[in-house]
Chains A and B, each alone.
Chain A
C-alpha cells in the first residue's frame, strides 16, 4: 500500500533495452557488407577532404582565409585578424589537428547538405512527409548524443565513420528545418506569381522558391557548421582524431592549461567559419531586400 502511493509500481516497469541490444547486434552481423561499404565510402571521402586540406600549404590556407574574411566583411582588419588567429593555431602546434577536425566537420556539413537540403524541400512541399519527419528531427535534436554514440560504434566501428554519423545526426537538423522554413515562408504572392505565369511545380521550386529561401537556407548552413563544431569533443570519445582528442587527453590528465589551447583553437575555427558563412547570409539578404 505504502509502496504504491510513494513509488511507481514495480510491476509496471518493463525493459526493452535488451531487445534493442540484441537487435543492433544481429543487425550489424547480418548487414556487415553494407555497413562496411558505407564505412569505406565515408573513410575515403573524409580522407579525400583531409588530403585536400593537407595539400594546401599552411601559408596559402591562411592567405585564402584572410582574403575571404576581407572580401566578405569588407574590412581589411577582419582579414588580418583571421590570419593572426590561424597563425596562433599553428604556433600552438595544433595545425595538423585542426585540419583533422576540419575534415570531419566539412565532411559532415557536406553530408548534412546533401541529405538535409532535399529533405527540407520535401518537408516544405509535402504535408505528410512533414508529419513524419518533424518528430524525428525533434528526437534527433534532443536525444543526448551519448545514447547513440555506442550504437554508432557497434554499427560503424570506431574512428571517423561513427564520428561523422554522430556529427551528422546532430548537425543536419538545422539544415532541414531552415530549408523547409525558408521555402514555406517565401512570400506567397511571389510563389503565386510564379504559378500564374505558368511555371511547373519544379520550375517554381528551382527558379523561385529555393533562390528566395536562400538567405534562410544559408542561415541553416551556418547553424549546421556551428553544431558540427560543437560535436568535436564528443567525436573524440569514439576515437576521432583532432582538436577534440587533444582536449580529452589533457582533461583526463587534469592538465587544465593544456586543454585550454585546443579549446581556444576550436573557438577560433568556429568563429572564422561562423563569420564567413554569416557574411554570406548577410550578403544574400542584402541582395534580396
Chain B
C-alpha cells in the first residue's frame, strides 16, 4: 500500500517535470518588459493587446505587469523598475512636464488621441427612457452652465436642499480644473462638490444611479467601460481655449493618452520601441471593446484577441508586414 503511493507520487513528479521542463531554455536571451497596471479597464485591455503582440510577433521578450496605484507606478518608472506605461493620463500627473524635461520619463507615442473628459449625465436625464418608464427630468440641460437651473434634480442626500455634483478623483489635475469650473459657473451656490476617493467608487455611484434610473451628474472620462456601456451625454462647454482651460472656463481639450517609458527602455528594446511609437487606438474603438468585455464577461486577454480580430487592419498600421503575419497566425 505505502509503496504504491510512493510510486504514484514519483511517477506524477516525473511526468510534471518532463512536461513542464520541455518548453524552457531554447531561446537565447529573454528580456522581460514590465508595464504598469494601475487598475483601470482600458489600460488593462491596452496592456493585453500589447502583450499578445509582443509575445507572438516578437521572439525575445517576456511581458509582465506591475500592479499598483498610478503614483507608485510612476515613481517606479522613474526609477527604471518599470519600463512602460502604455496608457498614461499624463494630464493628471502633476510632475509630468518636469519629469520629461529632466529625462526621467520619455514620451514614446500617443495611444488614444481623442479622449474626452468632463461632466456627464445619463442620457435619460435629458431625454427620458420610455422603455424603462423614465420621464425626461431636465429636457433643456445641454451645457455645464445649464446645471444651475437643475440642482433639485440632483439632490445630495446629505444636504437635500443642494444638488450633488461628483468631482474627479482627488489629486487629479482634472479635479482641480473641474473645481474651478464649478466655482466659475456659480454652481457652488446650489451644488455640493463631492469627491470620491477612487475610480471604483465614482463608477459604482454612476452605475448604481443608472441602475435605479436616478439622476446623476459628475466627472467621467473616455475611454472606459462605463462610457462604452452606459448611454451618457457629455455636457457642452465653451470651446476649448488653451489660455482659459486651466481656469475651468472652457471645455477640456481632447486629451491625448500617451505611451511613456522609462529612460532606459529605448536602449533595452529598440525594436519594441518602434511598435509602441505606432501603437494607437481610439476612444470609440476601445470603449466598444470595453463594453464587449463587460457584456460578455470575457477576460481582458480574450477581449484583446477579439479586438485584434475585429480590427485586423490595425496590425498593418502598427507592425512590419512579417510581424503582423506572425500575430495573425497566432490569432487563428
| Interface residue ranges, A against B (CB under 8 Å) | 2, 5-6, 15, 17-18, 25, 28-29, 32, 36, 39-40, 43, 47, 146, 149-150, 153-155, 157-161, 236-240, 244-245, 248-254
Q: Which of A29, A39, A150, A253 contacts B201 (CB 8 A)?
A: A150
A244 and B197 CA atoms in complex are apart in Å by 9
Taking the closest CB of chain B, its distance from the CB of A38, in whole angstroms, is: 11
Scoring A18, A40, A161, A252 by chain B CB atoms within 10 A of each residue's CB, the highest score goes to A252
Known: A239-B195, A244-B197, A249-B170. A5 touches B15 (CB 8 A): yes
Q: Which of B75, B195, B204, B205 contacts A245 (CB 8 A)?
A: B195
Q: Contact at A251–B157, with CB atoms within 8 Å? A: no
Residues of B within 8 A of A146 (CB): 200
Taking the closest CB of chain B, its distance from the CB of A235, in whole angstroms, is: 8
A220 and B204 CA atoms in complex are apart in Å by 33
Q: Contact at A252–B211, with CB atoms within 8 Å? A: no
A253 and B176 CA atoms in complex are apart in Å by 11
Taking the closest CB of chain A, its distance from the CB of B54, in whole angstroms, is: 22
Q: Contact at A153–B201, with CB atoms within 8 Å? A: yes
Q: Which of B75, B171, B197, B211 contacts A239 (CB 8 A)?
A: B197
A81 and B292 CA atoms in complex are apart in Å by 59
Q: Which of B71, B157, B158, B204 contacts A150 (CB 8 A)?
A: B204
Scoring A5, A6, A36, A150 by chain B CB atoms within 10 A of each residue's CB, the highest score goes to A150
Q: Chain A residue with minimal CB distance to B71?
A: A254
Q: Contact at A153–B16, with CB atoms within 8 Å? A: no
Q: Contact at B201–A239, with CB atoms within 8 Å? A: yes
Taking the closest CB of chain B, its distance from the CB of A52, in whole angstroms, is: 16
Query: How many of chain B's residues touch chain A, expressed as a range?
Result: 20 to 34
Known: A150-B200, A237-B197, A245-B195. A47 touches B158 (CB 8 A): yes
Q: Contact at A28–B196, with CB atoms within 8 Å? A: no
Q: Contact at B198–A238, with CB atoms within 8 Å? A: yes
Q: Contact at B169–A252, with CB atoms within 8 Å? A: yes
Of all A-B residue pairs in the complex, the 4 with the closest CB atoms, nearest first, are A252-B171, A237-B197, A153-B204, A249-B170
Main secondary structure of the interface of A (DSSP, over half): helix
Residues of B within 8 A of A153 (CB): 201, 204-205, 208
| Interface residue ranges, B against A (CB under 8 Å) | 12, 15-16, 19-20, 69-71, 74-75, 94-95, 157-158, 166, 169-172, 194-198, 200-201, 204-205, 207-208, 211-212, 297
Q: Contact at B212–A252, with CB atoms within 8 Å? A: no
Residues of B within 8 A of A159 (CB): 157-158, 194
Taking the closest CB of chain B, its distance from the CB of A144, in whole angstroms, is: 13
Known: A28-B208, A153-B201. A43 touches B94 (CB 8 A): no
Q: Which of B70, B95, B201 contacts A237 (CB 8 A)?
A: B201
Taking the closest CB of chain B, its distance from the CB of A97, in whole angstroms, is: 13
Residues of B within 8 A of A150 (CB): 200-201, 204
Taking the closest CB of chain A, its distance from the CB of B221, in whole angstroms, is: 15
A238 and B196 CA atoms in complex are apart in Å by 5
Q: Can you list 29 residue pairs at the A/B interface with Cβ under 8 Å?
A: A5-B19, A18-B297, A28-B212, A36-B157, A39-B157, A40-B157, A47-B158, A150-B200, A153-B208, A154-B208, A154-B211, A155-B208, A158-B201, A159-B157, A160-B158, A236-B197, A237-B200, A238-B196, A238-B201, A238-B204, A239-B194, A239-B195, A239-B196, A240-B197, A248-B170, A248-B171, A251-B69, A254-B75, A254-B94
Q: Which of A32, A161, A236, A252 contacts B71 (CB 8 A)?
A: A252
A77 and B201 CA atoms in complex are apart in Å by 44
Known: A154-B211, A157-B157, A238-B198. A2 touches B19 (CB 8 A): yes
A43 and B19 CA atoms in complex are apart in Å by 60
A160 and B196 CA atoms in complex are apart in Å by 11
Q: Chain B residue with minimal CB distance to A154?
A: B208
Q: Which of B157, B166, B170, B208 contacts A252 (CB 8 A)?
A: B170
